[in-house]
Structure formats: structure tokens, C-alpha cells
Structure 1
């Protein structure tokens, strides 16, 4: 059993075929998916998808690209939306200095609000970090000093120091199709080094399709391709990576009913 811990099933790329792609995911061994919120003001669309499909869960939050247009949403609103039974995470929120689509102070402000929501709810914060390693490290250290919160560094493509800082602070690290790219040798070295009990896999679909699908639309079924490369990188079997990353997912995403899905996976 595999879990796609981060995809965007609400994106128009999947209009008209969500049921089919969820079946293709199951056929590839991907039994669970978390569709990630990027606009709190569009949360109703994401929640509806999670409600429509038994094996799809969701998050609630504002992507750093949208931190400027959704500035000022109080933490209480995020916490209230997170009470829905299908909401299992906060975010994605973070810092993106590569595109800089929102003012950096708005991104940092939004990240801190989402950290507070994760702290209050106990749900994991899905962190987006791109070209912002130093500031992300500083904020994580400062905020963790105020009180612990669960979190993961999603679609990890940052430097080794941020990965190790995350591990030190109790975070998890999730790898996407970027891990499979030919020029990702440095990223694979990081993946090889991290402790097995902190690793997750994801697609970030519809983006970042792994080799050999690179350049095409990504989808949850392709989680298996990234997991295979992670297994090869770490010198373990694909079965072991599936077992470990799924165990890690349930440990972090505590709101997902673990036993129900493990029983289904064993039966299949």
C-alpha cells in the first residue's frame, strides 16, 4: 500500500475524470490521497472532493503564492474549518522566493498563522519551501521554541541543511517526482541520509511527473514511480518503502483511520 500524501485533485486538469484517476491510483497500489488546499476561500471545492471519495482526504490553508490575496484570515477560521472529519492537515503554507508571487512579509505572516493552527489542532502543517532555506530555518526554530507542532517539508527540493534541521525539529520530509529526475543526484543523496521513519512520498499532481512520465500531467498513480526510485536510492525493496512510508503517513496524519485502510490493503 502507498499513500499520495500531496496532490491537487481540485485543479481543472482533472475535471471530468477524478473517479477514473482514483481507480488508476488504486490499481497502482495507491490506496489513499490527500488533496491539498491552496486557497482557503476555495476550500468548499476541496472539501467536496474529499466528501465524494472515501479514500481522499484534504487539508485547509493558503499557499504562499496566495498569501497576499488571503492575508488577514484569522487562525480561528482555519481551526474551525479543520474540524471537518475529512480535513487531516493544515496548509500548504510556507515561503517561495523562487516565484515571489506574494510579498515576503505576507508569506511569513501566513506561515506563522498556519503554524499556530497546526499547534492548536494537532494536525500536521504541510510546508512549502522553495529558495528560502535560511528564512524557513529561522522561522521553524523560533516557532518550535514557542511550542511544538507536527509538520512535514513537502515536495522536498531544498538543501541538506534544511532537511537536517527539519529532522532535528521533529518534522517529516516528503519526496515527489523531482527525486527521479536525472539531475537530482544531490537530492537523492539527501534522501539516502535521512532516517527511514521520517520519509513520505507524494506526487504534487498535476505537477512534477516522475521519470519516465516527465513533462506530462502527473497523477496519484505515479506515486509508485517515485517510491521505486526512493527504494533504489536507499538500497531497500519497493515493498519496504511502501510499508515504511505508509506507516510514517499514519503516524503523522493521525486523523486518518489507520486500521480501516491497513485492513483493506491486507485484504486486497
Structure 2
């Protein structure tokens, strides 16, 4: 007989889902996912753009409910599809009411789905869009710490102090650089994985005032629901894990990460 999975905890304090991909969810109807998320006190959800093909879909989703928001940007996997027209679309909509950041942008040398030189050029171009529109950035960096730091340094004088390196799995050098810039690090279900001690080490070194909670749904489902499609309503498990890793009261983690999310993406709220 299989062991029954633990029910999703419900906390009194609201939580903000800072990074998911609602248009990628397939296991259940989107309305059901959003309803279940509200039932576990997810107050806001940010769904992330990754390619020229889903920029408009993310905008549509971000207007589907007054608590769903989005971003505009092209992931490094799709860098070779980046054009002047795509940049114009991102720039045009970066300041829409329900669009809160430029992202997901950055470098990925692990999969190398796009030429590295093209990735670097597209990263720079989108950072410039963020500078010009005064928007925070959502950054993806995998096996590219040195180049990520080098490119970010080019924009230090003009880039917003609001931003996040999401799904952080990089080394302490990139972590410390981002923290020194005042940005946050985003942590998700990876923190619950048995072999992710390197990520837990970064959680330990990161001030609680610079941690964001995310799921990256439908990917990286946390324990105890690994093997299922991820969803924003699993976020409470990540909050619990962060509290455990940092040996902090759960209420403190919930309160501070909520404030971090507001500061990063909703500074006027």
C-alpha cells in the first residue's frame, strides 16, 4: 500500500507565487488550479513569459483575474528567435498594468539550446529594455555564473535594484553578487530534493530579507508531491522548507518573503 501524501498546509499569512508558467499547466483546468491556490492563501500569482510565442498568452493570462500578473521576456533557450519586432513587443507591454517585470531572461550554458554569443547579446538587449522601462528583472542563469556577473556589471548604474535570480542553483559567487546589488534569490521545490545540499547552502547564506518563494510550475514539484505536475498551491511546502533550512519561525519566513515580493514586484502596494 502506498503511503498517503501529506495534505497541503494552509497558513493564515498570504503567500505570493513569484514564478510559474500557467500556460504550461496540463494536469487540471486552469480555473481549478487558481481556485486551489486561493484556498491555500496564495494571494498573487506571477506567470512568466519565455518565448516570442507566449508573450501575448502571458498578457492574456495576467488579465484573467485581478490577482494574476505576468512578465514579458525571452528565455535564453529561445534567444535565436529574438528579433527587433519581438523586442518592440516586450518594450511596448513592459509597463502594462498587470505586467510586473522583464523576464525570464539570462544565460543557460547547461542545455546550450541557443548559441552562447546570441544568448549574451539577447540578455544585454533585454536588460536595456528593463533599464529603459524601469522594470525589475527575472533572471535565469545556469552554468553561466561568470558571464552572468560580467554582463550584469555593465548595467549596474542603470538597472533597477529590484530583481531576482530565480530558481537559484548557481554558486556562492553569483549569489553574493546578486545580494550585494540588492536583488533577491528565488527558491523553489529544489530545496526539498535530497541531493540539493548546494542549493540549501545558498539558502543559508541568503538573508531572509532577500528570499523569494516560487514554484516554477509545472516543473520542480516539491517533496512530498514529486512525480506530479507542479502548481502554485504547493508553495506552502517551500515556505516550510525555507523556515527549516534557516532555522527561523515559519511566521517570520512568511511575513518577510511576502514583503520581499511586494518590494520587488509591487512597490506601490
Partner of 1:135: 147
Structure 1 position 241 matched with structure 2 position 253: yes
1:170-185 equivalence runs, <5 A = 170-185=182-197
**Matched residue SS, 2:46:** strand
**Matched residue SS, 2:139:** strand
Provide the aligned C-alpha RMSD in A.
1.6
Partner of 2:38: 26
Partner of 1:52: 64
Equivalents in 2 of 1:104, 1:72: separation in Å? 19
Equivalents in 1 of 2:108, 2:130: separation in Å? 20
Structure 1 position 199 matched with structure 2 position 200: no
1:69-88 equivalence runs, <5 A = 69-73=81-85, 75-88=87-100
Partner of 1:10: 23
TM-score normalised by structure 1 residue count = 0.90
**Matched residue SS, 1:100:** coil
**Matched residue SS, 1:52:** coil
Partner of 1:265: none
Partner of 2:228: 216
Question: Which consecutive unaligned segments of at least 5 residues does structure 1 have?
Answer: 259-268
1:80-99 equivalence runs, <5 A = 80-99=92-111
Q: Summarize deviations over 1:111-138 as a string: whole Å, max 9, x none.
A: 1111111112222110000111111111
Equivalents in 1 of 2:86, 2:242: separation in Å? 38
1:115-154 equivalence runs, <5 A = 115-144=127-156, 146-149=157-160, 150-154=162-166
Question: Which consecutive unaligned segments of at least 5 residues does structure 2 have?
Answer: 1-13
Equivalents in 1 of 2:148, 2:215: separation in Å? 22
Partner of 2:7: none
**Which piece of structure 1 moves more, 102-111 or 198-207?**
102-111
* Residues 38, 62 of structure 1: 8 Å contact kept: yes
Equivalents in 2 of 1:107, 1:140: separation in Å? 14
1:195 Cα deviation from its structure 2 partner: 1.4
1:110 Cα deviation from its structure 2 partner: 1.3
1:215 Cα deviation from its structure 2 partner: 2.3
- Number of residue equivalences: 255
